[in-house]
Structure 1
Amino acid sequence: MKKIGFLSFGHWTDSPHSMVRSGADALLQSIELAVAAEEVGADGAYYRVHHFAQQLASPFPLLAAAGARTSRIELGTAVIDMRYENPLYMAEDAGAADLISGGRLQLGISRGSPEQVIDGFRYFGHIPPEGSSDADMAREHARVFLEVLGGQGFAKPNPRPMFPNPPGLLRVEPYAPGLRERIWWGAGTRATAEWTASQGMNLMSSTLLTEDTGVPFHQLQAEQIQLFRDAWKTAGHEREPRVSVSRSIFPIVSDLDRQLFWREQKSTDTVGWLDGGNARFGKTYAAEPDKLIADLAADEAIAAADTLLLTVPNQLGVDYNAHVLESVVKLIAPELGWR
């Protein structure tokens, strides 16, 4: 059994070829797609976070709204760039959104991807301390965030508060029970996956790894997942971790599918240069169902993960993306034993 959700970057453009022309369109359609995903039997609605771009950025109002409109599916991010975050304020927002959803948040966080602007986190008031990098700062913000989510009091109460305080040190409110165990780290390397396990976070791996050993993407990602599981066991955590992978999967079952994705039927892994080093990008899966089922059955990383996030072309609109989700959930997943 695998949980299957969508991952949307929430692009918008005023191009006449886009169904998403504005920020309002992107946000409202993201909510509607979460509703549609629940209706077709998918398990999750996940959103990417990019600052200074015409894409989804501030996730918590969106997650709270989607939580209020749905009742079953998981709601998450993939991923929040922790370089930009005030961890205590983030804990308040996350706690509120999780309570609104009834405890369905699954938050992916990370150091983040290459930015639209130079050191954009500085505009948000976050500057790495002397001698540390922006990646160090992201991990420190994550450490504080995770600690606060534990729910222990740490702040000394005012002896003359506006409202009566409970005894002892105070914690950030609202507190969301169990949210600490539903935090994921977006890991781009095998070493980062092992660090993720040591911190007791779930592993989120995308269609991109910021390293390359010459083996196919799915095999490198499967190795990353195994290293994560081994490190988790070594760390002695009591609960079972979760692992997600992202894929672009398009069953070709209609003339429109064929028109949009026939070129992707020959897609292969690509290797590029990203953030000062080699990176390997996974291919797109697009084919008629029988061919697609055979191709996906050979994907070692999907086999090793418990959660599959389908990256969706959100500018094609809610109806089309709901069609893609339904095709995967009802035509592909049962044949592969995912359902």
Structure 2
Amino acid sequence: MDGRPLRRLGFLTIGLFDEADPRPGHESTLRLIELGEELGLDSAWLRHRHLQHGISSPVAVLAAASQRTSRIELGTAVTPLGFENPFRLAEDLSTVDVLSGGRLNPGVSVGPPTHWDDVKEHLYPDSADVEDFSYARVERLLHALRGEPVSGFEGQQGIETYSRRIQPHAAGLADRVWYGAGSVRSARWAGEQGLNLLTSSVLTGVGADGDEGPWDFAARQREQVDAFRAVHPDGDRARVSQGLVVVPTDGASPEQARRYEEYAAARLPRTREPQGPGRLLFAPDLVGPSEVLAERLRAHAGFRAVDEVAFALPFTFAYEDYVQILTDLATRLGPLLGWTPHH
């Protein structure tokens, strides 16, 4: 896998909006997805943000995007299943996949919802103490998406017809489910299930053998990817997408470039050692001319293991900044990495 040209290039956004006037932020996210398609990018991914000023319902926004685009693939990176009922989510995902013509790529993760103690009485008032936030939640979702029975009844009841499986059934959607793994253990589990792997700019600092350190993000990410492919049925051909924050400055104004550099510098201290009780490792944001970024990526052990990326857009920039960044990704950085626009 090392040294292969970049085959697929996409982007990831949080979809920031103003709480007092949320529509323009959602609309600008849709416009970015349209721009991504015009630029020949392969995919657009939405983060899932609950109780924040970022998109809380990516599936709804991607339904809208499916009607404003015709080719670009649409994904979630990631939907935390602790907030979801897998049965209902499967219906929504299948519906959007049908509307998009088979372009949906659902990315999911598991674990208790963020701020669990603060939300559990509202999220699961009657079942908080018995909810299962393990990998079983992914298995339930896959069961439904594969068209396996979710009901014991099938047939006619009066004038209505009932099915045993989720409707609509979106053939092939289950094969396009991605798992957002933070640890080597999760990556290995995803590989055993035959899922696709999303690896981002945040990982746990615990290695395959339970060791901690050295604190080398790129080495840890490569370890995660290798562990995933070692057990995946497709081996080295198993799909992995990397999601670092990468900001080319080729077409940026001096003021934009200054703000980008300041943003990255403010976030750099957290990359020097593990953070919090989860011992999280953060990748440094990559900012600069495309020629410099291409060299830094080629030297990155995690990047050398993949031929698909969905570079993350910084959270707090303006729409015009994102236009410049996406344009440079598609016209400058991508080609330097061996990628060809899809038109």
Amino acid at match of 2:249: I
> Paired residue for 2:137?
141
Q: 1:228 & 1:317 partners in 2: Cα distance?
A: 36
CA distance in 2, matches of 1:144, 1:196: 14
State the 1:215 CA deviation. 3.9
Instruction: Provide the C-alpha distance between the structure 2 equivalents of 1:244 and 1:81, rounded to a whole number of angstroms.
Output: 18
Question: Structure 2 CA distance, aligned partners of 1:163 and 1:305?
Answer: 52
Q: Paired residue for 1:71?
A: 70
Aligned-residue identity in percent: 28
Following superposition, the deviation at residue 113 of structure 1 comes to 8.3
1:25-104 mapped onto 2 (5 Å cutoff) = 25-104=24-103
The equivalent residue for 2:10 is: 5
Which residue of 2 is the match for residue 17 of structure 1? Answer: none
CA distance in structure 1 between the partners assigned to 2:300 and 2:72 by the alignment: 25
Change (3 A) 1:162 1:237: farther
Which amino acid in structure 1 is aligned with residue 189 of structure 2? Answer: W
Contact 2:291/2:336 (8 A) holds in 1? no
Q: Which residue pairs with 1:163 in the alignment? A: 159
Matched, 1:286 2:287: yes
TM-score by length of 2: 0.86
- What does the per-residue CA deviation read over 1:125-167, in whole Å, with 9 as the maximum and x for residues that have no partner? 274665xxx7x5242221111001111334233665143537x
SS of the residue aligned with 1:11? Answer: coil
Q: 1:260 to 1:170 in 2, by over 3 A?
A: same
**1:315 to partner: Cα distance:** 4.2
2-structure distance, mates of 1:160, 1:301: 53
Which stretch shifts more, 87-96 or 204-213? Answer: 204-213
Residues 215/120 of structure 1: CA separation in 2 closer, same or farther (3 Å cut): same
Alpha-carbon displacement from aligned partner over 1:284-328 (angstroms, at most 9, x marks no partner): 101123222211211121221232112113543333212201202
Is the partner of 1:324 in helix, strand or coil? helix
Structure 1 residue 334: deviation in Å?
A: 1.5
**In 1, are the aligned partners of 2:243 and 2:312 still within 8 Å (CA)?**
yes
Q: Is the 8 A contact 1:265 1:287 kept in 2?
A: no
1:264 Cα deviation from its structure 2 partner: 5.7
| Deviation by residue 1:101-121 (Cα, 9 ceiling, x = unmatched) | 110001110026872563535
Identify unmatched segments of 5+ residues in structure 2. 1-5, 207-212
Over aligned residue pairs, what C-alpha RMSD do you find?
2.5
Distance 1:164 1:115 in 2: 40
Asked whether the 8 Å contact 1:29–1:317 carries over to 2, the reply is no
Q: CA deviation at 1:180?
A: 0.2
Give the whole-Å Cα distance in 2 for the aligned partners of 1:258 and 1:229: 38
